[in-house]
Structure 1
Amino acid sequence: MTIRLPRSAPESQGISSNAVSRFLQAIAENDIELHSLMLVRHGQVVAEGWWAPYAAPLKHKMFSLSKSFTSSAVGFAVTEGLLSPDDKVLSFFPEDVPNDPSPHLEAMRVRHLLTMATGHTADTIDPMKMTPDGNWAAEFLRLPVDKAPGTHFLYNTGATYMLSAILRKATGQNLLDYLRPRLLEPLGIEGATWETCPRGIAIGGYGLSITTEDIAKFGQLYLNKGLWGERRILPENWIEEATSKQIANGDEGESDWAQGYGYQFWRCRHGVYRGDGAFGQFCIVMPQQDAVLAITSGTNDMQGVLNRVWEHLLPAMRPGAAAEDPQAYAELNAQLKGLKLEPPERTPSSPRERSLPAETYRLEENERTWKALAIRFEKDEAVLTFQEESEIHELRCGRESWAEGTSKLLEGTDSRLAAAFTWENPDRLLLTLRFIETPFCITAAVDFEDDEVRFSYRINVGFGGQEAPPIRGRLR
């Protein structure tokens, strides 16, 4: 069942339209790429917007904001008596216990997974993903635990996976199936997906995809201390524990990553807490202001996003209604409806479009395993065909406008794509590929010279290098 939060003018809920406009302007002036936002005050959506080609119906990858949903699933299981935060981690995996477990491993409890205080000194997720048999839990238990659990904070995505694996053991269900009747259906969260490990267990620490309004509803549930309307979803004491500082993670200075950590929730300055994910996926809960802010984005400047929230939105929230300002409200609505990320515009066409041969370029060996590239031009589109060993990918790019479709180029599975092209000069084709259910955008250049081609590209955000080695090719 589709459930939408109620809507209201900002002034009716004690915040000026001008404050929201200033926030949007500050984001633009600092070149921070947001994809969506939804601001909720007193349970009413007072501002919402999507930067086209991103759109309200589209899900977006949450990355580590997924962790807060995993924490909620643990809360349900604790409430139902299926597990306890004080249960030993090893007790759930008798078949995977190492031959000689260390005292630190034996001392590790579920609460240490929740608080990122497992005692590891490096995130465990990469070695877990590399294990040949796909048994991530067994690999987690094999890795050294250098410190006593509970004494040392280390952000550890592998720990959240272990929560998901424990939930599978305790409930007999995968994480998404377990959450569906308890959390997702009551809140009207539809179509959620969650990536799994090779053994079919939800990854827990990342992999959830939901919409912006779904984030806002989740935050509103926590703001209401577990109540959804008149219905009790999660116990208030669990919400309090999960969002309180359970362990120190820094000096509590100017960084919002140093204010303490709860059960897969971050503490912030100003009495705020949040769930967040890489590249700017936010569920920001402001209890003192009775407000929630949901954001999706594709930025490396996550602190910059929070700084603008504290600077422009937080101080603008007043206890009572603000004076009506129809002009400011109309201007804000126009601003929100006009949000967009434009494709580059240089030169819309080139003589190359008529002179390019119909043959295919054979590509040199490359990390993408592309074997060949063909390009043709139609009236309003450039059509690129990438040939792999056993698969062909066709990519349609609009002429200085977005052409929407799907592509497997990003992760090997169909992803929604908005793509555009322009010409930087007669011999250089520029491509912009926005994978609009993710933070990722690829910008590419195709350089033509005689019978050769050079394909180079970079990605806007990433965990490793963002620029790929160029790929060269020659006409067959």
Structure 2
Amino acid sequence: MDLSSLFTAIAPLDLRSCLITQQGQLTFKHYRDLQTETAIARINSCTKSVLASLICIAIDKGLLPPLMTSISVFFPQLAQHRDSRKKEITLLHLLTMSAGFNWTEFGGQNSFPRMARSPNWVNFVLEQPLSDSPGVRMEYNSGVSQLLSAILVQATGMTTARFAELYLFELLEIESYKWEMDPQGIHTGGFGLWLSPSDMLKFGQLYLQQGKWDNKQLISQELVARSVRSAFLVEAPRQGYYGWHWWTDSYPVASNNSSTHSVEYFYARGYGGQYIYIVPSLKTVVVLTNDKRKKEQYPVDVFRQIIAPLLLQQL
């Protein structure tokens, strides 16, 4: 498909990168400069989706108990907590961000900045009161991602980054990365991973291929499918649904007979314009990266308003 018009459309946005593969072939490539092509940069909350893949791999390997297991297995202090609901929080609740903690990521309580300034991030999260019973609603929370990273360390006996190297990065030939850590040396679960745009594209392609890479099943098809399935409707101003540390949504398509249907997609999203979109029905992966401050960015949804209409011309 000819995507040449996309160069003109995104030129005013001054994106750091825009990459598109269709049916496994790179069909569009834009880098702001030569350095960007190989340089690693923060992918921010796209880290959450990478972490989710590691949790799935650990489940496949039998290193983690069933997802309905209480996290008090890993954090025994919750078993005797004065709020008995805390011992009901499961691994699945963490993955779907429905643990129930009273948490405002930014603004309000500023929970994320407070966690990042605390001497022990895991303890900070566990000590937060509950505003909902576990499983009732999704509340975006980088703290529960940190709990998942800490659980992965306990379950595997190695750091999150080392587990990623052995069972994901090396197999995808991701050779250059950086991963930040909390004060206890636990790699950040909700942010802090640095990758190049091309390696982000590999990760998206792995999910498009249902966990298979070079004829090896790195993640079981069942867990890939479950992880990107809508679990909770997200609250405004966000749009769509949330799965296991993946966002899900759909794009309306009008047909010639005036009826409409939707093209489903799922994506990883990081602050500041870092995205990995997977559109299974179009066999397409889109990576977008940006490094401008929010007030310097154009107020446009690049994927939905610019890229998706071009991709859907092939339907």
TM-score range, shorter chain: 0.7 to 0.9
1:27 aligns with 2:27: no
| Residue number in structure 1 paired with 2:108 | none
Report the Cα offset of residue 159 of structure 1.
0.8
- Please give the residue correspondences for 1:76-87 in structure 2 after superposition, counting only pairs within 5 Å: 76-83=57-64, 84-87=66-69
Listed as ranges, the gaps of 5+ residues in structure 1 are: 1-14, 319-476
List aligned pairs for 1:65-464, cutoff 5 A.
65-83=46-64, 84-94=66-76, 96-97=77-78, 100-122=81-103, 123=105, 124-131=111-118, 134-250=119-235, 257-270=238-251, 271-299=264-292, 300=294, 304-317=301-314
Structure with the higher strand share, 1 or 2: 1
Tell me, in whole angstroms, the C-alpha distance in 2 between the residues paired with 1:228 and 1:118: 33
Structure 1 99/107 Cα, relative in aligned 2: closer, same or farther at 3 Å? Answer: closer
Instruction: Tell whether the 8 Å contact from 1:196 to 1:202 is kept in structure 2 after alignment.
Output: yes
Deviation at 1:32, TM superposition (A): 2.4
CA RMSD of aligned residues (A): 1.9
What letter is aligned with 1:315? L
> How much has 1:308 moved relative to structure 2?
3.0
Query: What amino acid maps onto 1:92 in structure 2?
Result: F
What letter corresponds to residue 40 of structure 1 in structure 2? Answer: T
* 8 Å Cα contact 2:6-2:307 kept in structure 1: no
Verify the 8 A CA contact 1:193 1:208 in the aligned structure 2: yes
Distance across 1 between alignment mates of 2:159 and 2:235: 34
What displacement does 1:204 show?
1.0
Q: Does 1:43 align with 2:24?
A: yes
Q: Is the Cα contact below 8 Å between 1:26 and 1:308 reproduced in 2?
A: no
With normalisation by structure 1, the TM-score equals 0.58
Paired residue secondary structure (1:183)? helix
Question: How many angstroms apart in 1 are the aligned matches of 2:299 and 2:180?
Answer: 24
Deviation of 1:22 (Å)? 2.5
Residue 146 of structure 1: how far off its partner (Å): 1.2
Query: Which amino acid in structure 2 is aligned with residue 21 of structure 1?
Result: S
* 2:156 aligned partner, one-letter code: T
Alignment size in residue pairs: 292
Aligned equivalents of 2:85 and 2:300: distance in 1? 34
How far does residue 129 in structure 1 lie from its aligned partner after superposition? 2.2
What is the Cα deviation at residue 294 of structure 1?
1.1
Percent same amino acid at aligned positions?
A: 27
| Structure 2 Cα separation of the partners of residues 103 and 313 of structure 1 | 52
Paired with 2:309 and 2:8, the residues of 1 have a C-alpha distance of 10
149 and 309 in structure 1: CA distance in 2 versus 1, 3 angstrom threshold? farther
